[in-house]
Chains A and B, each alone.
Chain A
Amino acid sequence: MKDLLTKTLHTAQDKFSAQYAEVRAQKLSKTMFTMKEGRVEAAKQGIENGVAIRVLVNGAWGFASVGSLDADVLVDAVSDACSMAKAASSRLKNPIKLAQAKPVEDHVEAQSKQKPSEISIEEKIKTASATTQVTLKWDKRIKSCTVDYLDLAGTSYFANSEGTYIEQDKLYVWTKATASAMQSGVFTFSREEIGSTAGYEVFDVETPEAVGERLAKRAVKQLAAKAPKGGVFPVVLGPNVVGVFVHEAFGHLAEADLALAGGVLVDNMGKKIASDLVTFYDDGTIGGAFGSFRYDDEGTPAQKTLLIKDGVVEGLMHNRETAHKFNAQPTGNARAEDFRVEPIIRMRNTYMAPRDHTFDELVEGVKHGYFFKSFRGGQANLDGTFQVGIQEAYEIVNGEIGEPIRNASLSGNTLETLLKVDAVGKDFQLNAGRCGKGQTAFIGDGGPHIRVSEVTVGGSA
């Protein structure tokens, strides 16, 4: 493989005088299925082999992707990429430059106790069936249960014109379970997502019993829930909601490409933008976590990157291009979903560091507000407006958890909200998720329980 990739690199350098060239090959196999009410829609297996080529010619990027490992096809593709880059450079005012990187040679093997490739599809289907059974049998008001399963295993090969060559095993196990419940015209909906880079052993902890119970209980509980009052309230957020807030509302702003694209963080580097209690990391080194890996798709080692320390913006997430622009070091955040797409800046495991409060202490401080325990989805705009939809929430009345509420959401301006974090719990939880930014990335996010003195709560009552 090394020879094939090196030969392709030489074409870019010798024939097209590319300033920089990289070749990324993958050999992957996947197993997937969707189960609805215990019925397997189709068990699926797939093979995806291909190569991505990226070159820098006259300061512009050229990218080509082909589903082939054939030497002639690769030479054609790299020639394509170089001549297209040349065409693109015709109107370039600020040529792209890359931060320096040390050449690396490495081979990274997956360390899992239970490789998904060594577990039969029958066994995987059995686990999903068990989750479905637990969920559907929990309560007769549960009307549907869908389980999606995916595992992915293989090797990626990376070589660049600076002498880096990395072979790295890839391994992901993921499942998402959703349930709906119905009672007298009220529909509710609940979801759980689990993901790991360790191996199939993740289901020894996240057993069908545990997952099914959480899923079913939430869907049923919401049936009796009422709609929240819209307005500005103090809230306590669970780790699951804190995670999506850190990821969506803050994390995307700290991706250097988006920061450069007009995000609000560029003018706030080194400044205090959040309460003293706020410390955020993006960490690619947590063993087994869904957003972890050894090297990113530009060959930069993953690291634990400090984003905010005690309320002060410390750093951004970089690839080699943005690191050069900011005169910073690449942080290992360049990730590509597969050989079809180019690497872009993506989060890994993004979380808030815990402090010292208990959950009860957080709730005690709220006279009238809400406890948002679990999210349904979240989104943010570069101007710092965010929205997080909530799937499980409760009223807080006089310092105590009260009635469940449904279909709530919270919204606000990220920076204003970060200043209003007035207590941070001592617990910690990391969740697996997927993030869409044109491409899908497997990520982790999390934190402790926290309290925010004011956010806008959306509701219809």
Chain B
Amino acid sequence: MAALSKEAMLNLAEKAVKVALQKGASEAEAFVYDGKATSVGIERGQITKTSRIVDRGVGIRVQVHSAIGFAYTNIVSDSAAVEDAAAKALAAARASKPDKDWKALPERKPYAAVTTMVDGEILALRSEDLVNLASRMLDAVAQADTRVFSVEGGAGAGYVSNAVANSNGVAAFDEGTVVECSLATLAKEGNTVTPICFEFNAERNLNVDPEWVGREAARLAVSALKTKRVETKTYNLVFSQFALQELLYYTLINAVKADSVERNQSPFKDKLGATVGSKCLTIVDDGLLAGGLRTGMFDAEGVPHQKTPVIEKGVLKNFLYDSYTANKQGRESTGNASRAGYLSTPSLEATNFRILSGDKSPEELLGEVDDGLMVSYLQGAHSSNPVSGEFSVVATPAWRIRKGEIEHASRGVMLAGNIFELLKNVSVVANNERKMGQLVAPWLLVENVKVIGK
């Protein structure tokens, strides 16, 4: 199925809004999603599978007497199905309860120009090209070290477009591409099998480096072969982006969402302007970041994306808002509404949550560690206490650092602490920024974290 055109997407969205209003909605909004993803998959060292997924649909949100209803359908070629979805959204709203805090759907606002997020080269990729990308990655592993086994991974290319329209005049269309290579590896030597190590590279245009992914995934696995126990004490820890993404998603990112703050689910309530982190920590939420994996002109409600300062030199500056939370508190939305395609109503989410780089190279950062650990892959971050920020996780593996050099790996190392205390103990921010889902960050050096060795 060929992708829907911009005109077809906008027409569909505007028609859905019109139908919902005709059926009695006081306000209506339609979100049309069209996505196509092609991938080839690696299993146990070889390319064994391919897949192409075409998914499109429309989600209709309506307001009747201040109660909200939502319905979606993935049958968009049939106008009766879209009408039926509008009717279901209305029925859901009528069954629901009025929300006294509901004000209105967002109004039309100008969008900032974003560098185009569509790359023709990605659109032109055939499955043979993806097989080639994946093969280059596997070859890089084979050349790097024969002890390394490629467990799973693959290469994929995607195109997503969406259109938002509402009864307040919003009518917007955006589209983008992404390409990704990923590989999970382990190394085997004698009876030793390392934990799974993982590397990936995702970009909005076709400049992924499959050889780098293969080499790095191999290097990490091999470096996990030599293990020794570490003793239980407090260490200075180097957090790679993998670890930060895991830890921050369930804690810090949650804590700066306006709804968490309002619902007493954030320790940052009443802390605007207060110091919540180390001086070297500056964080922005930037939905317009060039090349960002979450970059686009507008959010899931058609509100313009923007760059919102969150923490500046350790001081809490702003929370993130969608239009509901913003209206409720008499503020402007920061463009942080997000959706799972056409299947859901908007919810608050960070866009590109970016920890700004410092000026130390990763080597210089390691050089400042006399006796510490490097952590990348964490288990159990999702069981952190999202409200208090307390966590108790396992690093599998962690790498021991002595006098600035990585000495050996260690397994099953438990780290415990509080993410919000940890933010205050960041002593060095490196300059090796990379994108990882919504997080954009360099390595961080954090002092005095409790570690339980094994």
Chain A residues near B117 (CB-CB < 8 A) = none
Chain A residues near B99 (CB-CB < 8 A) = 39-40
Question: Which of the segments B189-197, B200-208, B430-438 contacts the partner chain?
Answer: B189-197
Chain B residues near A77 (CB-CB < 8 A) = 52, 54
Is B414 within 8 A of A456, CB to CB?
Answer: yes
Is A90 within 8 A of B96, CB to CB?
Answer: no
Would A376 and B50 be within 8 Å (CB), given that A43-B69, A264-B193 are in contact? no
Check: A399 CB closer than 8 A to any chain B CB: no
Check: A112 CB closer than 8 A to any chain B CB: no
By beta carbon, the residue of chain A nearest B62 is A42
Check: B56 CB closer than 8 A to any chain A CB: yes
Most buried by B among A120, A340, A409: A409
Check: B267 CB closer than 8 A to any chain A CB: yes
Is B452 within 8 A of A262, CB to CB?
Answer: no
Is A231 within 8 A of B452, CB to CB?
Answer: yes
Tell me, rounded to whole Å, the shortest Cβ–Cβ distance linking A137 to chain B.
Answer: 17
Is B263 within 8 A of A88, CB to CB?
Answer: no
Chain B residues near A41 (CB-CB < 8 A) = 68, 345
Check: A301 CB closer than 8 A to any chain B CB: no
Chain B residues near A91 (CB-CB < 8 A) = 46-47, 131, 135
Instruction: For the complex, give the distance between the alpha carbons of A460 and B416 in Å.
Output: 6
By beta carbon, the residue of chain B nearest A96 is B48
Check: A373 CB closer than 8 A to any chain B CB: no
Which residues of B362-411 are within 8 A (CB) of A?
377, 379-380, 382-388, 390-394, 396, 411
Chain A residues near B147 (CB-CB < 8 A) = none
Instruction: For the complex, give the distance between the alpha carbons of A218 and B263 in Å.
Output: 19
Tell me, rounded to whole Å, the shortest Cβ–Cβ distance linking A265 to chain B.
Answer: 12
Chain B residues near A381 (CB-CB < 8 A) = 195-196, 377, 379, 396
Question: Which of the segments B14-22, B86-94, B236-244 contacts the partner chain?
Answer: B86-94
Is B51 within 8 A of A378, CB to CB?
Answer: no
Is A43 within 8 A of B195, CB to CB?
Answer: no
Question: Which of the segments A9-17, A186-194, A304-312 contacts the partner chain?
Answer: A186-194
Check: B288 CB closer than 8 A to any chain A CB: no
Q: Mark A115-145, 1 if CB is under 8 A from B, else 0.
A: 0000011100100000000000000000110
Residue of A84, A388, A407 near B385 (CB, 8 A) is A407
Q: Mark B1-16, 1 if CB is under 8 A from A, else 0.
A: 1000000000000000
Q: Mark A373-409, 1 if CB is under 8 A from B, else 0.
A: 0011111111101111110000000000000001111
Tell me, rounded to whole Å, the shortest Cβ–Cβ distance linking B76 to chain A.
Answer: 8
Check: A328 CB closer than 8 A to any chain B CB: no
Would A143 and B1 be within 8 Å (CB), given that A88-B127, A125-B97 are in contact? no
By beta carbon, the residue of chain B nearest A376 is B383
Chain A residues near B188 (CB-CB < 8 A) = 262
Chain A residues near B345 (CB-CB < 8 A) = 41-42, 44
Residue of B40, B152, B193, B392 near A409 (CB, 8 A) is B392
Check: B71 CB closer than 8 A to any chain A CB: yes
Check: B55 CB closer than 8 A to any chain A CB: yes
Would A189 and B387 be within 8 Å (CB), given that A231-B452, A456-B414 are in contact? yes
Would A47 and B47 be within 8 Å (CB), given that A65-B54, A81-B52, A187-B388 are in contact? no
Is A61 within 8 A of B50, CB to CB?
Answer: yes
Chain A residues near B391 (CB-CB < 8 A) = 407
Check: A67 CB closer than 8 A to any chain B CB: yes
Chain A residues near B293 (CB-CB < 8 A) = none
Check: A201 CB closer than 8 A to any chain B CB: no
Is B96 within 8 A of A458, CB to CB?
Answer: no
Is B96 within 8 A of A40, CB to CB?
Answer: yes
Tell me, rounded to whole Å, the shortest Cβ–Cβ distance linking A262 to chain B.
Answer: 5
Instruction: For the complex, give the distance between the alpha carbons of A81 and B67 in Å.
Output: 44
Check: A196 CB closer than 8 A to any chain B CB: no
Tell me, rounded to whole Å, the shortest Cβ–Cβ distance linking A40 to chain B.
Answer: 5
Instruction: For the complex, give the distance between the alpha carbons of A47 and B188 in Å.
Output: 47
Instruction: For the complex, give the distance between the alpha carbons of A144 and B70 in Å.
Output: 24
Is A460 within 8 A of B450, CB to CB?
Answer: yes
Tell me, rounded to whole Å, the shortest Cβ–Cβ distance linking A182 to chain B.
Answer: 6
Which residues of B223-241 are within 8 A (CB) of A?
232
The count of chain A contact residues (Cβ–Cβ below 8 Å) is 89
Residue of B50, B95, B131, B414 near A230 (CB, 8 A) is B414
Residue of B38, B67, B196, B384 near A262 (CB, 8 A) is B196
Chain B residues near A459 (CB-CB < 8 A) = 392, 416
Is A456 within 8 A of B412, CB to CB?
Answer: yes
By beta carbon, the residue of chain B nearest A61 is B49
Tell me, rounded to whole Å, the shortest Cβ–Cβ distance linking B403 to chain A.
Answer: 27
Residue of B55, B71, B263, B414 near A458 (CB, 8 A) is B414
Is B383 within 8 A of A84, CB to CB?
Answer: no
Would A68 and B77 be within 8 Å (CB), given that A230-B450, A389-B392 are in contact? yes
Instruction: For the complex, give the distance between the alpha carbons of A96 and B170 in Å.
Output: 50
Instruction: For the complex, give the distance between the alpha carbons of A320 and B243 in Å.
Output: 36
Check: B140 CB closer than 8 A to any chain A CB: no
Would A43 and B93 be within 8 Å (CB), given that A64-B51, A68-B1 are in contact? yes
Residue of B48, B92, B95, B96 near A61 (CB, 8 A) is B48
Tell me, rounded to whole Å, the shortest Cβ–Cβ distance linking B84 to chain A.
Answer: 8
Check: B309 CB closer than 8 A to any chain A CB: no
Chain B residues near A84 (CB-CB < 8 A) = 38, 40, 50-52, 127
Instruction: For the complex, give the distance between the alpha carbons of A376 and B390 in Å.
Output: 13
Tell me, rounded to whole Å, the shortest Cβ–Cβ distance linking A297 to chain B.
Answer: 15
8 nearest A-B residue pairs (beta carbon): A389-B383, A377-B383, A387-B380, A61-B49, A187-B387, A43-B92, A458-B392, A121-B95
* Sample of 18 further A-B pairs with CB below 8 A, known A84-B38, A260-B44: A44-B72, A48-B73, A64-B52, A81-B50, A83-B127, A88-B127, A187-B388, A188-B388, A189-B386, A257-B43, A261-B44, A261-B152, A262-B193, A381-B379, A381-B396, A389-B383, A411-B414, A456-B454
Q: Chain B: residues with CB nearer than 8 A to chain A? A: 1, 38, 40-41, 43-44, 46-57, 61, 67-75, 77, 81, 84-85, 88-89, 91-93, 95-97, 99, 101, 126-128, 131, 135, 149, 151-152, 186, 188, 193-196, 232, 259, 263-265, 267, 343-345, 377, 379-380, 382-388, 390-394, 396, 411-412, 414-418, 450, 452, 454
